[in-house]
Amino acid sequence: MTTTSIPGALAKACRTVRPAGPRDAVAGVVPNWVAAPSGTDEASALLAMAAEHDLAVVPRGSGTRIGWGAPPRRCDLIIDTGRLNQIVEHAAGDLVVRVQAGVTLGQLAGVLATAGQQLALDPPPGLPSGPNGTAAGVAASPAAGAMAGAAGGAAGGAAGGAAAGSPTIGGMLATGTAGPRRLRYGTPRDLVIGITVVRPPGTVAKSGGKVVKNVAGYDLGKLYAGSYGTLGLITEAVFRLHPVPAAVVFVTAGYADTAAASQAVAAAAGTDLAPVAVEIDRPGRDGLVRVGVLLEGDPAGVAERAALLRDVLGAGTAASDGPPPWWGAAQPARLVTGPHGPAEPTVLRISFWAAALPGVLAAIDTAGQEAGLDPAVNGSAAAGVLYAVLDGDADPAAAATFVTRLRDGLDRASLDRALPDRGAGQELAGGEGPPSRASAVVLTAPAAVRGTVDMWGPVPSLSLMRAVKEQFDPGYLMAPGRFAGGL
């Protein structure tokens, strides 16, 4: 086969194909072509063609997180989901929606809001989210929106219909991203109830369906959620929906140190006031540590609960029906374009058992001091997820030191903490729990930093994951090398 035959074959498989340009680069790797299939059938033809010609494929939505993950080992073809932009069915009475992968969160939110419903995933702050934006806990800052729009523009280019800047359903699902309300609603894997995928060599497969309760067959939606495009292309998904709450209240407080803030987080999460999110924000090592709690529900009810919560959080609290400006701020889609300056920051997602929060914050401090860096920290503290953000101009060697030291510190912070026994007063050493109880993944970083760090770090049960990859994509055609463990 010759290279010249490939454009012809691509054109035969898909009506919308163009040569790729520098702006289509995936973590620095420039592909040859961009194809935008109009449906699952064209996507299938494209993957058949890619398998035949041994083309490596990277799926792309609106591109807000295309920089996430390691650079692909190779990338010949981008499959842009911009034309898969149909909301196929919104069954309002069943609280489910079936959408094509290229539908944006903003587009979907607008449609769902007309029925008083929502897909309970927080879009990154400042991005268009539709009429229920405020209820979704979104800071509608015009400045942030403009920056995000610029990012979307950089990602566009195919005959895509994706609204610039708003992440697509497929992208959210493939990267497994969720915002502050993950505490109550979970992540995309918790909300997806059906999925249609195309895997090499063009096989179309679905699992689940359009009913929330369904245990027929393996749940491939779980496997594809967070798989970074390495198992195939998601073309369609069905989600369970939630009613938009009648009222929301954000209760915020500031603390002098991380120990006090950690106590406040645990206290808020431990109440029976039904917090939907418990967030923490610390712009720098010596700054104030802020804690925010989101309550949803009946207007009188949330007001009553907010008052009780203010007692729990101590002096100096405030309540508001809109989010504080830092709410969900570390979700990297915004940071890519950045409040931290023109350079792309390094963003880590740190996951841990929530009780280890004080130790995790201390580990971040220690690693920062050892590396000579002062990361900003923000995230869903009660759900055990924090983001640490290093400025784009941070020295790559220092950033690498930070990542390494942080991972060591996290291991100590999470494993040294004895797991309480079942109330007998004894403490188990925790040796019977998972051997690792925390992780730090570098979601995105400048090119110079990417070269110096292991972006994914250690991965539990990697050999099983490799076996899964080799069954679903034996030729390593799908986003090769982007994922954990080099998959």
Partner 1 sequence: MTVEAMVPRMTEICGPGGVVSDPAELRTYECDGLTSHRAAPALVVLPETAEQVAAVVTECARAGVPFVARGSGTGLSGGALPRTDGVLIVTSRMRRIIAIDPVSQRAIVEPGVTNLAVSTAARPYGYFYAPDPSSQVICSVGGNVAENSGGAHCLKNGFTVHHVTGLQVVTPAGELTWLGDGTGNAPGYDLVGAFTGSEGTLGIVTKIVVKLTRIPQVITTLLAGFHSTGAGGTAVSAIIGAGILPAAIEMMDALAIEAAEAAVACNYPAGAGAVLVVELDGPEADVRRDVAAVRALCQEAGATEIRAADDPAERAAIWAGRKSAFAAVGRISSAYIVQDGVVPRTALGEVLDKIAALSSESGIRVANVFHAGDGNLHPLVLYDDAVPGEEEAAEKLSGAILDLCIQHGGSITGEHGVGSDKAKYMPKMFSAEDLDTMQLLRCAFDPAGLCNPGKIFPTPRLCGEVPGPRRDVHPAVKAGLAEQF
The interface with partner 1 within residues 252-271 (CB under 8 A) comprises 266, 269-271
Q: Which stretch binds partner 1 (CB under 8 A): 1-9, 158-166, 393-401, 454-462?
A: 454-462
Please, what is the minimum distance in Å from the beta carbon of residue 463 to partner 1?
8
User: Of 39, 116, 314, 322, which lies in the binding site for partner 1, with binding defined by CB under 8 A?
Assistant: 116
Please, what is the minimum distance in Å from the beta carbon of residue 322 to partner 1?
21
CB 258, CB 208: distance < 8 Å: no
User: Of 20, 354, 361, 478, which lies in the binding site for partner 1, with binding defined by CB under 8 A?
Assistant: 354
Q: Which of residues 172-191 bind partner 1 (CB under 8 A)?
A: 176, 186-187, 189-190
Q: Which of residues 48-107 bind partner 1 (CB under 8 A)?
A: 91-96
Please, what is the minimum distance in Å from the beta carbon of residue 278 to partner 1?
11
CB 65, CB 333: distance < 8 Å: yes
Please, what is the minimum distance in Å from the beta carbon of residue 130 to partner 1?
17
Q: Which of residues 381-440 bind partner 1 (CB under 8 A)?
A: 383-385, 419-423, 428, 430, 432-439
CB 351, CB 237: distance < 8 Å: no
Residue 206 sits in the site that holds partner 1 (CB under 8 A):
yes
Please, what is the minimum distance in Å from the beta carbon of residue 35 to partner 1?
22
Q: Which stretch binds partner 1 (CB under 8 A): 7-15, 134-142, 276-284, 456-464?
A: 456-464
Please, what is the minimum distance in Å from the beta carbon of residue 113 to partner 1?
12
Please, what is the minimum distance in Å from the beta carbon of residue 318 to partner 1?
20
- For the purposes of burial, counting CB atoms within 10 Å of the CB of 21, is it exposed (0-12), middle (13-18) or buried (19 or more)? exposed
* Total interface residues for partner 1 by CB under 8 A: 98
Q: Which of residues 23-52 bind partner 1 (CB under 8 A)?
A: none
Please, what is the minimum distance in Å from the beta carbon of residue 9 to partner 1?
21
Site pattern 215..254 for partner 1 (x: CB under 8 A): xxxxxx-xx-xxx---x----------xxx-x--------
CB 193, CB 96: distance < 8 Å: yes
Q: Which of residues 330-349 bind partner 1 (CB under 8 A)?
A: 349
Q: Which of residues 290-319 bind partner 1 (CB under 8 A)?
A: 297-298, 300-301, 304-305
User: For residue 39, which of 200, 269, 204, 247 has the smallest C-alpha distance?
Assistant: 204
- For the purposes of burial, counting CB atoms within 10 Å of the CB of 463, is it exposed (0-12), middle (13-18) or buried (19 or more)? exposed
